[in-house]
Amino acid sequence: MGKVAISLAIGPLHKWGYQHVCQECMASQAEFADHIYVVQSTEDSTGVEEFLSKYSNVTFISNPSTWHHRPGETDEILTTSKKMTGFHMHNLIKGRLAAFRDGYKIVLSTHNNWYIPRRGIGPLHDYIDKFQATSALTGRMWRFVQLNDTLFGPGARGDFLCNLAGMDEAGIQAYYPRLKWERALGRNVPDNINDVHIVDCMFELYPEEFGAMQERFPDYHTPKGAWDWPKYLEYRVSRFKRFAKIESIPLDYWGQRIADKSQPGFASHYILRELGLSKTIGIDVVIRRAIDCNSMLYNRKRKCPEAKRAIQLRFLYELAGQAPDGTAVECGVYHGGSFVCWSGTRLGRGPLIAVDNWADKNRDAFMANLKRYPDLRGTTILEMETCEAPAAIEGQVAFCFIDAGHYETGIARDILVWPNKIMPGGILAFHDYSSKGGVVGRCVDEWQKRDKWESLGAVGTIIAFRKPR
C-alpha cells in the first residue's frame, strides 16, 4: 500500500459555515492519510488548534504568502473572484509541493467540509494503488453528497488525486496551475460505483452563512444566481432531482457524527424538504403554531424587538433537531405551545410524549390544541407526576424539555430521575433557568457540579445540555 498525503487549503474554521462539521471531516482525513498539509488562507487560524492538538500527522503552513490579505487587514473581503479561486489553487499547490519535498508521491486534494468514510478507506487505498501503477498524473475519484442524514450519489467526480512520481518541483509548478478541475455531474457515471470515496457536506450550513459569501466575493458572479438563496436552492434541487439518487448505504461513523450535529435551519434540510424527503416542519410554521397555542415562550411584551420575540422557541426547535433519533418528551406541557413548536423537527424520528399532571386544569386546552395538527395526533399522553414518567417510558430518551414544577421538590425530583433516562448524545433542556438564583437555576447548577455534561448554551431562560457519549 503506497503512502498518501493530503493537501488541504482552509480558511478560519469558526465562521462562514465551516465551523459546523469541519472538525469531523478533517479528523476522517487524518485517519486516512499518512500525512496532511494544512495551508491557511487567512491570518485568523481560529479552530485549527483543536485539530492540530488531536493529530500528529499534520503539517500546518500559515504565513503572509498563503494569506489572501495583508497582515492585520480583514479577511472578510476578497476583492475579486480571481483572488478566491487563485488563492485556493495557490495554497493547494503549496501543500502538494511540501508533500513532494517530504517524499510523498501521491497527493489527494480535499476540502475541510469533505469526509472520508471509514468503510471507504480500504477501497480508496486500492484505487490509489491501481492509479499509481498506471503512472497517470491525475486521477478521478467519486464524490457523494450528504444532506443531513441522507446520502446521495455517486454525484460527481473530479481531479482530486495527483501523482507526483517522476516530476521535479519545477515541473509541478508548471503543470498544476494549468490543471482544470472538472466536475462531470451525472455524466458517464457507471452504475456499479459502490465504493464511497469522499462525501461532501457543503450544505451543512445556514442559508444566511451562504448568503454572506456575496459580501466576501462582491464581484463573483456565476450562473443561476449563485448568491441569491431562492435561486440557488431552486438550482440545487433541480440538479438533485435530475442526477442524484438516494444511496441505500447506511451512514458510518463519521457520517452519523455529522448527521447528529445537523440542525433544522441548515441548507441540507431546506433541500430535503424541497425534494419531498423530509418530514420536518419549518421553523416559521411551528412558531406560528406556538403563538396560536398561546405559548409562554413567545415574548409578547410591547418593548420586545420583533426579531427577539421567538428566540426561545427557535432555540428549543434547534435543540430538538440536534438530538439523535428516538423518543422525545416534554414535562409540563400547559397549553402545548412549546410542544407543538419543537415537535415539528421530530416527526418520523421517534415517539412524541407529553407529560403533565394538569393540576392547573389545562388538559382540555392542550388536547384541543393537539387535535388542530394531524401530524401530532400520534402523541402519547402521560397524565402523572413528571418524576414518575421515566419508569413509564420504554427505553432511553433522545430529547427532553423540562418545564414542570419550578418549586424546590418538583425540579429536584425531576433532576434525580431524568438525566439517567437520557441516551448518550441525547439532550436535556430546562425552562426558567437563571444563573443569578432561583430554584431551577440552583438545582441545575448543583446537578452539573456532580455530573458534568456538554453545555449547549442558554437562550432567555432555557438552558440545555448534551449527555456525554
Domain ranges within the chain, ordered by starting residue: 4-243, 283-466
Cell numbers that stand for 241 in this block: 432531482
Q: Which CATH superfamily is domain 283-466 in?
A: Vaccinia Virus protein VP39 (3.40.50.150)
Per-residue pLDDT in tens (0 to 9) along the chain, 469 residues: 678 999 998 888 887 778 889 999 999 999 999 999 999 888 888 888 888 888 999 999 999 888 877 777 766 666 555 566 667 778 888 898 899 889 898 898 888 999 999 988 888 888 888 888 887 777 777 888 999 888 887 666 665 788 876 666 677 667 665 554 444 333 444 555 567 788 999 888 877 777 666 666 655 555 445 556 677 777 888 888 887 788 878 888 899 888 877 776 688 877 887 787 766 677 888 898 999 999 999 999 989 988 889 999 999 999 998 898 899 999 999 999 999 999 988 887 889 999 999 987 889 999 999 988 877 878 999 999 999 999 999 999 999 999 997 777 789 999 999 999 999 999 999 999 987 778 999 999 999 999 999 999 999 999 999 999 8
Residue 71: cis peptide before it, omega within 30 degrees of 0: no
> What integer pLDDT is reported at residue 264 of this predicted model?
63
314 within 8 A of 286, measured Cβ to Cβ: no
The most distant pair of C-alpha atoms in the chain lies apart, rounded to whole Å, by: 81
Compute the radius of gyration of the chain from its Cα atoms: 25
Closest alpha carbon to 155 in 119, 125, 127, 193: 193
Closest alpha carbon to 157 in 130, 125, 127: 127
> What integer pLDDT is reported at residue 202 of this predicted model?
86
Taking the alpha carbons at both ends of the chain, their separation in whole angstroms is 34
Please write down the long-range contacts of 242-250, taking CB distance under 8 Å and 24 or more positions apart.
Answer: 242/186, 243/155, 243/185, 243/186, 244/145, 244/152, 244/153, 244/155, 244/186, 245/152, 245/153, 246/150, 246/151, 246/152, 246/277, 247/144, 247/151, 247/152, 247/153, 247/196, 249/151, 249/194, 249/196
What is 4-243's CATH number, 2.60.40, 3.90.550, 1.10.10, 2.30.33?
3.90.550
The Cα 312–Cα 322 span in angstroms is: 15
Q: How many other C-beta atoms can be found within 10 angstroms of the C-beta atom of residue 446?
A: 12
The whole-model pTM stands at: 0.60
Task: Please give the backbone phi and psi of residue 5, each rounded to the nearest 5 degrees, phi first.
Answer: -110, 160
The Cα 375–Cα 377 span in angstroms is: 6
